[in-house]
């Protein structure tokens, strides 16, 4: 039996397209949730006086995906600290929220909200509320980005690429337990899909980071704790985004072509076991979207 959850994530064109890409989602419908007038039109909701949020009804097969996983992925598609604004769209109709019609999913969803709060270090403004009402949107809004592939989307395109990559990697890693083999496959898939200049792992071994599986030009073998971007991410146990390596004191230049970098710690049972390091030949390649999705990828490891 399929179940439903309702997600307000900003403009419903992009949010519907995002959920359509999730394995285990069987059907989606854009619409208007938790407002005050019956059967509102887009134009009415657009006035921002009806209380409605642009929302996507997501029908999913619970034997293929859990409500918690849906919420986790949803959080990687929104800015949970932005009140009544997502991307270029602002107004209460663009607030973010998770609405449920079956309270039995609440404990699992609350866990994801708590995990989100730990990750961002603040209370998200995203609502978690019972669904009061939902009216499907007009036909022209359904499957909008399939019908209009060049149409407006408030989400960066990298979100859709990362979603595919994350799900494919999850399937690939099933059944292989060797950590180096898993890192090797992860580096290869990220490099193939995202075409970064250098993508690889440094493993924590005897108090050092030691070069692990990677794709790209030869790199330095060892990095000390707290040194360079990699050693800093290890020491601070957090993702470090460097938009211009020349401005990062202590950056270790394995290649003079590298201009920006992101390093994500791989944490297992509270211990940093490795870091994922990605370099780009352009300045400013990485942002919060890369950080969130690469952290999800490192969680698979
Ligand atoms: N730049 C990294 C060293 C590793 S290479 O980028 C592959 C750092 O500063 O830690």
- Give the pLDDT band (50/70/90) at residue 206: very high
| Rounded mean pLDDT, 146-157 | 94
Q: Is the CB of 229 under 6 A from ligand 1?
A: yes
Pocket test for ligand 1, best of 247, 253, 262, 285 (most atoms within 8 A of CB): 253
pLDDT of 300: 96
- Give the pLDDT band (50/70/90) at residue 288: very high
- Give the pLDDT band (50/70/90) at residue 257: very high
Contact 67, 108 (CB under 8 A): yes
Q: Is the CB of 254 under 6 A from ligand 1?
A: yes
pLDDT of 89: 94
Q: Is the CB of 29 under 6 A from ligand 1?
A: no
Instruction: Note if 230 is an active site residue.
Output: no
Most distant pair of Cα atoms in the chain: their distance: 65
Atom of ligand 1 nearest to the CA of 214: 7
pLDDT of 203: 98
pLDDT of 179: 95
Atom of ligand 1 nearest to the CA of 216: 7
Residue closest by Cα to atom 5 of ligand 1: 254
| Rounded mean pLDDT, 206-222 | 97
Distance in Å, CA 187 to ligand 1 centroid:
15
Residue found under tokens 């290890």: 234
pLDDT of 265: 98
| Rounded mean pLDDT, 226-239 | 97
pLDDT of 177: 96
Q: Is the CB of 252 under 6 A from ligand 1?
A: yes
pLDDT tens digits along 43-71: 999 999 999 999 999 999 999 999 999 99
pLDDT of 169: 98
- Give the pLDDT band (50/70/90) at residue 191: very high
pLDDT of 14: 97
Contacts of 45 (CB under 8 A, 6+ apart): 32, 35, 52, 54, 93
């Amino acid at each position: 039996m399929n179940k439903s959850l309702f997600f307000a994530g900003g403009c419903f064109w992009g949010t519907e397209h995002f959920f359509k890409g999730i394995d285990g989602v069987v059907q989606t419908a854009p619409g208007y949730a938790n407002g005050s007038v019956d059967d509102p039109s887009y134009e009415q909701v657009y006035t921002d006086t009806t209380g409605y949020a642009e929302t996507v009804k997501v029908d999913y097969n619970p034997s293929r995906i859990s409500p918690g996983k849906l919420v986790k992925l949803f959080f990687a598609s929104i800015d949970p600290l932005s009140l009544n604004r997502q991307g270029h769209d602002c107004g209460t109709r663009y607030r973010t929220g998770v609405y449920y019609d079956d309270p039995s999913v609440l404990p699992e969803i609350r866990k994801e909200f708590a995990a989100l709060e730990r990750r961002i270090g603040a209370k998200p403004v995203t609502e978690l509320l019972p669904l009061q009402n939902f009216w499907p949107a007009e036909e022209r809004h359904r499957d909008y980005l399939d019908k209009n592939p060049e149409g407006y989307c408030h989400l960066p395109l990298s979100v859709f690429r990362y979603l595919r990559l994350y799900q494919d990697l999850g399937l690939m890693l099933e059944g292989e337990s060797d950590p180096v083999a898993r890192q090797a496959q992860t580096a290869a898939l990220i490099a193939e899909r995202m075409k970064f200049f250098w993508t690889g792992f440094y493993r924590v071994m005897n108090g050092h980071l030691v070069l692990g599986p990677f794709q790209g030009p030869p790199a330095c073998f060892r990095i000390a704790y707290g040194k360079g971007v990699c050693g800093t991410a290890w020491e601070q146990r957090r993702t470090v985004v460097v938009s211009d390596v020349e401005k990062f004191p202590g950056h270790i230049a394995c290649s003079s072509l590298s201009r920006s970098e992101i390093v994500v710690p791989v944490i297992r049972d509270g211990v940093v076991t490795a870091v994922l390091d990605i370099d780009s030949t352009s300045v400013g390649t990485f942002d919060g979207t890369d950080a969130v999705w690469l952290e999800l990828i490192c969680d698979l490891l």
